[in-house]
């Protein structure tokens, strides 16, 4: 049985871990033994017992996060900046787990095109995997749009790491929609195959009668706080009910604060719910960020959508993705800068009155396709 270790650290949202869990399920279904190693905060929607039922082994490293979006200073679970001793302890724990598991394949999520602050950790993991099983192959796993490099020299550094250690790069998107070169123009002579697996999406949402509610999702982390605050004000200018779903570790407190600050009969705010896909399918329209998993939830239904990409702190990933999807019927893109509550209310009303969207035009079986590619690499 092929052993595959998946190494992921989600620092601000939840999408990286959710996507790797989907890949783990597909690998287990294809007959692999899977170990998912997570270095971000635990997610309520992915408890270890649920992963175990899906035949995914799971190990939680000492969690890190960047609630203030300072990726150079990851923080521990208690909010304090992680020290070099903390990071060394994580590396030791990680290497011990990989040594015991002895994977045939190690998949590093985002790295080496991101997670530079944790480069020593990923390098140690690669060395540990190969020490435990000589000949173990290493593969990079990337969402459709990795955050573009802020400096040109980072392209050369990533390319050198790929050439030195990697057997392949898996991009979980469609090359015809968003090729990797749209965000990371790696050298044409890279020498490492880049495989677009297709999108890793959820199952088709069940048919639902369309309701009157404007459903606003702020994602699985803190990135959507500004959008949620604006939506709470916009709800007062709308005749429709507005339902706000808040993500992040302090979601319950933030939802309560939104209700207390802007509360009126048409506004409801609560933490992200497990039945979000069903709520989305029955909504009059959706207002959300443009993160990978949020877009995949939209792909599973036909609810008209307003995408408001996160673009603070110089981030470009969501704007690139949203621009590519704006060509689809039923999807509109708004720029949060300059957007006020009355304008958001008007845009939501127009979307709520619009026809249902046509079906998503691209396959969403990227997890199964990626699993097949990985097992072929192992062979």
CATH number reported for the structural domain that contains residue 336 in this entry: 3.40.50.2000
Same domain? 166 vs 224? no
- 232 assigned to some structural domain: yes
Identify the CA nearest to 16 among candidates 221, 193, 264, 321.
Answer: 221
Residues 191 and 65 in one domain: yes
Is the preceding omega at residue 271 within 30 degrees of 0, hence cis? no
Q: Is residue 171 part of a domain?
A: yes
Residues 348 and 372 in one domain: no
**pTM score of the predicted model:** 0.93
How many domains does one find in the chain? Answer: 2
- Taking alpha carbons only, the member of 286, 229, 241 closest to residue 267 is 241
Regarding whether 317 and 369 lie in a shared domain, the answer is no
In a domain, 209, yes or no: no
Rounded distance, CA 194 to CA 169, Å?
A: 5
What's residue 199's pLDDT?
96
224 found inside a domain:
yes
Strand partners, 245: 217, 270
Range of 126's domain?
3-201+364-378
- pLDDT confidence of residue 257: 85
* CB 5 within 8 Å of CB 98: yes
Task: Write out residues in the chain with pLDDT < 70, as ranges.
Answer: 221
Number of H helices, E strands in the chain: 12, 13
Contact 90, 39 (CB under 8 A): yes
Burial 95-107 (b: 16+ CB within 10 A, else e): bebbeebebbbbb
Q: Are residues 113 and 231 in the same domain?
A: no
Q: What was the pLDDT predicted at 255?
A: 84
Q: Beta strands 331-333 and 305-307: pairing type?
A: parallel
Is residue 208 one of the residues assigned to a domain? Answer: no
pLDDT number for residue 208: 86
Which pLDDT value is given to residue 313? 79
Residues 189 and 251 in one domain: no
Same domain, 10 and 113: yes
Does residue 321 contact residue 292 with C-beta atoms inside 8 Å?
Answer: yes
Residues 18 and 99 in one domain: yes
Q: Is residue 316 in a domain? A: yes
Asked if the structure places residue 359 within a domain, the reply is no
User: Which DSSP symbol is given to 265?
Assistant: T
**Residue 328 confidence (pLDDT):** 96
Q: Looking at the domain assignment, is residue 21 inside a domain?
A: yes
Task: Kindly state the tokens that stand for 200.
Answer: 């890793």
What local confidence, expressed as pLDDT, does residue 69 receive? Answer: 75
């Amino acid at each position: 049985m092929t052993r595959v270790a998946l190494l992921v650290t989600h620092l601000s949202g939840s999408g990286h871990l959710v996507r790797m869990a989907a890949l783990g399920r597909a690998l287990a279904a294809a007959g692999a033994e899977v170990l998912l190693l997570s270095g971000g905060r635990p997610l309520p929607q992915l408890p270890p017992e649920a992963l175990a039922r899906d035949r995914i082994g799971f190990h939680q490293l000492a969690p890190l996060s960047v609630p203030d979006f300072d990726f150079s200073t990851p923080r521990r679970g208690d909010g304090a900046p992680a020290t070099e001793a903390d990071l060394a302890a994580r590396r030791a724990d990680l290497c011990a787990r990989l040594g015991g598991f002895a994977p045939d394949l190690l998949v590093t999520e985002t790295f080496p095109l991101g997670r530079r602050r944790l480069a020593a950790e990923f390098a140690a993991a690669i060395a540990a995997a190969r020490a435990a099983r000589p000949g173990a192959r290493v593969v990079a796993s990337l969402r459709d749009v990795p955050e573009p490099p802020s400096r040109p020299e980072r392209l050369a550094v990533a390319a050198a790491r790929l050439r030195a250690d990697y057997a392949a790069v898996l991009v979980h998107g469609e090359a015809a929609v968003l090729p990797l070169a749209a965000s990371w123009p790696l050298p044409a002579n890279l020498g490492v195959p880049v495989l677009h697996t297709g999108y890793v999406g959820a199952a088709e949402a069940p048919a639902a009668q369309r309701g009157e509610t404007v459903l606003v999702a702020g994602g699985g982390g803190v990135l959507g706080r500004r959008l949620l605050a604006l939506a709470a004000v916009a709800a007062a200018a709308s005749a429709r009910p507005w339902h706000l779903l808040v993500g992040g570790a302090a979601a319950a407190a933030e939802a309560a604060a939104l209700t207390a600050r802007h509360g009126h009969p048409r506004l409801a705010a609560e933490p992200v719910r497990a039945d979000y896909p069903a709520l989305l399918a029955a909504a009059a329209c959706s207002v959300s960020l443009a993160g990978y998993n949020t877009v995949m939830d939209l792909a599973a239904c036909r609810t008209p959508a307003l995408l408001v990409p996160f673009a603070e702190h110089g981030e470009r990933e969501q704007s690139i993705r949203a621009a590519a999807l704006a060509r689809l019927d039923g999807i509109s893109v708004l720029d949060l800068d300059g957007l006020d509550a009355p304008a958001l209310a008007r845009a939501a009303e127009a979307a709520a009155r619009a026809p249902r969207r046509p079906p998503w035009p691209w396959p969403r079986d990227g997890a199964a396709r990626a699993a097949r590619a990985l097992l072929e690499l192992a062979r």
